[in-house]
C-alpha cells in the first residue's frame, strides 16, 4: 500500500515530466530558437542580391556563410534542425507595398549537422574552429539524449507500476535529473555557438537578433525535469526510511 503523500508526489512528478517532454519535443521540432529582424528592402540592386541569396539558400550547396547571410537579410529564424527565411509569396519580389509574406524552410540533414565549422565561415582554408564545431554537435545531440533518458525512465516506471514496487524510483529520479542537465546544456551550447558565430560573422547594419520562443520552451523544460527528479528522489528516500523503520520495529 502506497502512502497518499507518495502517491501525490508521484502523480505530480509524472505531470511535470510529461510537460517537460512535450515542451522539449516541440522545441526540437521548431525553428524559432533565434530570429533576425531585417530592414525593408529598397532598390532594384538590393532586390536582385536578395533574390540570388534566397535561390542559393533553397537550392545551392550547404555553406554556413551563405545561409547565415541569407538569414541575416531575410528575417530568418534558425533552430536545431531547421533554418527559415520570410519572403514574398509571389515571384515579383518586394514590388507590392503590402505583399503577402511566407516562411520558407530548409532542414539540416544529418551529414550537415556534422559538418565542421571554420574560423572564417565559408572559407575552408581558414582552418576548423573546434569549439564551434563541437558546440554545434552538442546542441543537437544533447536534446536527443535527454529524450532518450526520459523514455528509459518512463519504461522503468511502467515496469515498476506493473510490479507494484517503488524500488526503481531513485533511478528514475536520477534519469530525470540527467535529462534536465542535458536540456540545460543544450541551451547553453546553442547560445554560446550563436555568440561565437556573430563574432566571426558580423550582423549587417540595422539587423537585430533575438531569442525565439522555441529556445524558451527548451529552457522551461529543464527545471520541470529537475523538479520531477526532486520529487522522485524524495519519494525514494522517504519510502526507504519508512521501510527500514518498519523492519526494525518488526525485528524488535
| pLDDT tens per residue across span 80-129 | 998 888 887 765 555 555 667 788 888 888 888 888 888 888 778 888 88
Which range marks the domain in which residue 154 is found?
A: 4-241
Residue 43's region, left for phi above 0, alpha for psi from -120 to 50, else beta, is left
Q: Is residue 213 one of the residues assigned to a domain?
A: yes
Say what the pLDDT of residue 240 is: 57
- The number of folded domains in the chain is 1
Say what the pLDDT of residue 243 is: 46
**CATH number of 107's domain:** 1.20.140.150
Q: Is residue 250 one of the residues assigned to a domain?
A: no
Q: Is residue 116 one of the residues assigned to a domain?
A: yes
Q: Is residue 80 one of the residues assigned to a domain?
A: yes
Q: Is residue 249 one of the residues assigned to a domain?
A: no
Say what the pLDDT of residue 216 is: 95
Q: Is residue 94 one of the residues assigned to a domain?
A: yes
Say what the pLDDT of residue 96 is: 58
CB contact at 8 A, 35 and 209: yes
Q: Is residue 248 one of the residues assigned to a domain?
A: no
Tens of pLDDT, residue by residue, the chain (252 residues): 456 777 788 889 999 999 999 999 999 999 999 999 887 765 555 677 777 778 787 787 788 888 888 888 888 899 999 888 888 776 555 555 566 778 888 888 888 888 888 888 877 888 888 999 999 999 989 999 999 999 999 898 888 777 766 678 888 999 999 999 999 999 999 999 999 998 888 888 888 889 999 999 999 999 999 999 999 888 887 765 554 444 544 444
**CA-to-CA distance for 192 and 93, rounded, in angstroms?**
35
**CA-to-CA distance for 43 and 218, rounded, in angstroms?**
40
Nearest to 71 by CA among 114, 121, 25: 121
Say what the pLDDT of residue 64 is: 84
Q: Which residues in 71-88 are b (16+ Cβ under 10 Å) and which e? A: bbbbbbbbbbbbbbbebb
Placement of cell 551529414 in the chain: 111
**CA-to-CA distance for 19 and 223, rounded, in angstroms?**
11
Q: Is residue 252 one of the residues assigned to a domain?
A: no
Amino acid at each position: 500500500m502506497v502512502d497518499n503523500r507518495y502517491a501525490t508526489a508521484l502523480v505530480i512528478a509524472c505531470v511535470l515530466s510529461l510537460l517537460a517532454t512535450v515542451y522539449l519535443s516541440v522545441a526540437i521540432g521548431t525553428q524559432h530558437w533565434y530570429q533576425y529582424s531585417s530592414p525593408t528592402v529598397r532598390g532594384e540592386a538590393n532586390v536582385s542580391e536578395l533574390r540570388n541569396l534566397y535561390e542559393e539558400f533553397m537550392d545551392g550547396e550547404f555553406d554556413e556563410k551563405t545561409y547565415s547571410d541569407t538569414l541575416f537579410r531575410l528575417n530568418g529564424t534558425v533552430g536545431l534542425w531547421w533554418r527559415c527565411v520570410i519572403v514574398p509569396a509571389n515571384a515579383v519580389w518586394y514590388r507590392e507595398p503590402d505583399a503577402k509574406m511566407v516562411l520558407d524552410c530548409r532542414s539540416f540533414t544529418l551529414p550537415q549537422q556534422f559538418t565542421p565549422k571554420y574560423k572564417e565561415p565559408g572559407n575552408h582554408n581558414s582552418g576548423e574552429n573546434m569549439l564551434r564545431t563541437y558546440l554545434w554537435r552538442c546542441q543537437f545531440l544533447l536534446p536527443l539524449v535527454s529524450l532518450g533518458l526520459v523514455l528509459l525512465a518512463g519504461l522503468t516506471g511502467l515496469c515498476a507500476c506493473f510490479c507494484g514496487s517503488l524500488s526503481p524510483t531513485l533511478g528514475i529520479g536520477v534519469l530525470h535529473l540527467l535529462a534536465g542537465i542535458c536540456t540545460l546544456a543544450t541551451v547553453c551550447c546553442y547560445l554560446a555557438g550563436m555568440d561565437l558565430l556573430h563574432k566571426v560573422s558580423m550582423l549587417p547594419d540595422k539587423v537585430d537578433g533575438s531569442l525565439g520562443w522555441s529556445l524558451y520552451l527548451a529552457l522551461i523544460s529543464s527545471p520541470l525535469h529537475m523538479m520531477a527528479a526532486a520529487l522522485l528522489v524524495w519519494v525514494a528516500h522517504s519510502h526507504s526510511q519508512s521501510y527500514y523503520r518498519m523492519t526494525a520495529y518488526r525485528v524488535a
